[in-house]
Amino acid sequence: MTSAPELPVRVGVFGLLGSGNLGNDGSLEAVLGYLRADHPDAVVDALCGGPEAVTARFGIPATRMHWNRAEYRTASRLGSIAAKGLGKFVDIFRTAAWVRRHDVVIVPGMGVLEATLPLRPWGFPYSLFLLCASGKLTRTRVALVSVGAAEIRNRPTRALVRWSGRLAAYRSYRDAQSRDAMRAMGVDTARDEVYPDLAFSLPSPSASAPSDVPGTVCVGVMDFHGGNDDRARADEIYGRYLDGTIRFVRTLVEEGRPVRLLTGDQCDATVVAAILEAVDSPLVTAAEPTSLDDLMREMTAADTVVAVRYHNLICALKTGTPVLALSYAAKSDALMERMGLGAYCHPAREVDADRLLEQFRALEKRSPELRQTLAERNQAAARQLQDQFSSLTAAVFPATRHTHVPARQESP
Please state the rounded mean pLDDT for residues 359-386: 96
- Find the CATH number of the domain harbouring 370: 3.40.50.2000
Q: Of 275, 285, 276, 311, which Cα lies nearest the Cα of 296?
A: 311
User: pLDDT value at position 71?
Assistant: 64
What percent of the chain has a predicted confidence (pLDDT) above 90? 78
More confident residue, 301 or 228: 301
Based on its alpha-carbon atoms, the radius of gyration of the chain, rounded to whole angstroms, reads 23
Please state the rounded mean pLDDT for residues 334-341: 96
Could you give the CA distance from residue 152 to residue 157 in angstroms, rounded to a whole number? 7
Q: How far is CA 93 from CA 14, 67, 162, 180, 235, in A?
A: 16, 10, 22, 33, 39
User: pLDDT value at position 37?
Assistant: 95
190 and 221 in a single domain? The answer is no
Residue 287, helix vs strand vs coil: coil
The whole domain housing 349 covers 217-374
144 and 237 in a single domain? The answer is no
pLDDT in tens, 61-104: 999 998 876 666 655 567 666 777 787 889 999 999 999 999 99
169 and 250 in a single domain? The answer is no
175 and 229 in a single domain? The answer is no
41 in any annotated domain: yes
233 and 309 in a single domain? The answer is yes
Per the prediction, the chain carries an average pLDDT of 90
78 and 180 in a single domain? The answer is yes
How many domains does one find in the chain? Answer: 2
178 and 224 in a single domain? The answer is no
Q: Give me the phi and psi of 43, to 5 degrees please.
A: -95, 120
57 and 172 in a single domain? The answer is yes
257 and 362 in a single domain? The answer is yes
63 and 158 in a single domain? The answer is yes
207 in any annotated domain: no
103 in any annotated domain: yes
User: pLDDT value at position 143?
Assistant: 98
212 in any annotated domain: no
* pLDDT confidence tier of residue 188, bands split at 50, 70 and 90: very high
232 in any annotated domain: yes
Extract the runs of DSSP E, i.e. beta strands, from 270-344.
Answer: 284-286, 304-307, 323-327
170 and 55 in a single domain? The answer is yes
52 and 148 in a single domain? The answer is yes
Give the total residue count for the chain.
412
382 in any annotated domain: no
User: pLDDT value at position 411?
Assistant: 34
